[in-house]
Amino acid sequence: MDSIKIVGGARLNGVIPISGAKNAALPLMIASLLSDETLTLGNVPRLRDVAQLTHILSNHGVDYSVDGKRVGQDDLKGQTLHLTARTIVDTTAPYELVSKMRASFWVIGPLVARERRARVSLPGGCAIGTRPVDFFIEGLSKLGAQIDIEAGYVVVKAPQGLVGARIEFPKVSVGATHTLMMAATLARGETELVNAAREPEVVDLANCLIGMGAKIEGAGTPVIRIQGVDRLHGHRHAVIPDRIEAGTYAMAVAMTGGDVVLENARADLLETALDVLRQTGADITQVDGGLRVYRNGNGIAPVDITTEPFPGFPTDLQAQFMALMTRAGGQSRITETIFENRFMHVQELARLGARIRIDGHTAIVDGVSTLRGAPVMATDLRASVSLVIAGLAAEGETNVSRVYHLDRGFERLEEKLGRCGAVIERISN
């Protein structure tokens, strides 16, 4: 099992290219099930989750190809996928595939919309929270689907097709918004999604679906309206840059000091997080082709945050921000409102010398002047990169194990940081 070794203390200087957003690429790939024509997606990151979803889609009959490497192509730039679901050969998504990636459950919407039936395994538990699928099931039921739970599978049938309806989410859910928006594109009549997720990844999916011929209004607002159409066609679409990757590297620069341009990063996708980083003392400006993040020798100021759905502070940056706050000059409070079990990185940060205590859904961080390297273990995707950020600033050597979590969501992280001066390497065991 691979690990990452970091020798802390180096400032970061240079350019880091920001990959396409994993959280946008996955629903976009699933949208290929809605049409029998080719969906071409550019700027797709080379990640374990992308490869896994490609395998899952091929199980349903999706043919795929990846553009070959061209002369002079940078391995850190996105790839292009061509996905063609000419014929759906299987409407079952089995447990052995769905259990490896929760987002694969989202195939249930396009499958029942196009084939009028689907049998998809319940995804099971998750390290950072339960993330129930009740909203998905209730929403499909309102669209006229008949639903049964049989031996751990959600069995959905709509013999006459789906019919538009008003669906109000009791709580904002990105996954349910993705899934029901896709399903509604082929439903008869109008569907209204109320209290819908406003994340940029939802907007990116809507824009792609519109390019495929869907009629969608209001993406990026709490109310999305979809007028169903008979069929969708092929399209070419570029995945938006990954706001979480951009925010992560911005925090790494704020932690270590230095001057880095985040190539392709877009400020409009993470304004709240950038405002918070500015409060800590980092200087962030828009430059041609991206964002410049700079911090000189000044200390890190403590800032309190609460995670919220977009446009609030993202839960996917909470662990990274906590790592930053371990070196702040004072006390900060970090409140997690999205996932009930997303403080598992606290004990590992403590191994590096961080002073953190938990009070309910709030972590209270007392900044320390020095972190010291130690062996630590990643517990999930975002927690793993928080340990890397802490290790970059720690004295001595930090070894992060279980980095397969990192490979799910960060493309060639050690190469990108190494190009900017970090002393970091992957150890293959």
Annotated catalytic sites, by residue? 126
d(CA 405, CA 427): 15
Determine the 3-state secondary structure of 40 from DSSP: strand
Which tokens belong to 376? 């630590």
382: left (phi over 0), alpha (psi -120 to 50) or beta: alpha
Determine the 3-state secondary structure of 380 from DSSP: coil
d(CA 37, CA 142): 28
Tell me the HSE value of 251 on the side-chain side, using a 13 A CA sphere. 30
d(CA 76, CA 19): 7
DSSP 20: B
**By the 8 A CB rule, do 371 and 328 touch?**
no
d(CA 353, CA 351): 5
Closest of 60, 57, 61 to residue 44, by C-alpha: 57
410: left (phi over 0), alpha (psi -120 to 50) or beta: beta
